Amino acid sequence: MAPPSADLVLIFRGSARTKQESTDAEREYSNLIKSLKAGGLKATGKRGTKDREILVFVNAPDDLLNRLVQAERCVSKPLAHNVFRLG
């Protein structure tokens, strides 16, 4: 099975040795995925090649990229007071 298309691949590594560390790592991973999605990105996790490794495939939709480019152009202009917020 081919990996999903991605603009960026993050490697999430856990080194949990206890039940509590494992729970914390799961929470951190969930928070990462939620944060990426809340920012308008698409994110999918797949098992990595090593133990305790998850590859997070991140994709930025074209409409989000276009909005970010336009916002950057507006902010780059002198005396521009434009504010851009994701989501």
Q: Is 55 exposed, middle or buried (0-12, 13-18, 19+ CB in 10 A)?
A: middle
In contact, 12 and 53? CB cutoff 8 Å: yes
- What DSSP string describes 10-46? EEEE----SHHHHHHHHHHHHHHHHHHHHTT-EEEEE
Quick: pLDDT tens for 25-50: 999 999 999 999 999 999 999 998 88
Q: Whole-model pTM above 0.85?
A: no
Using the predicted structure, report yes or no on whether residue 80 has a pLDDT greater than 50. Answer: no
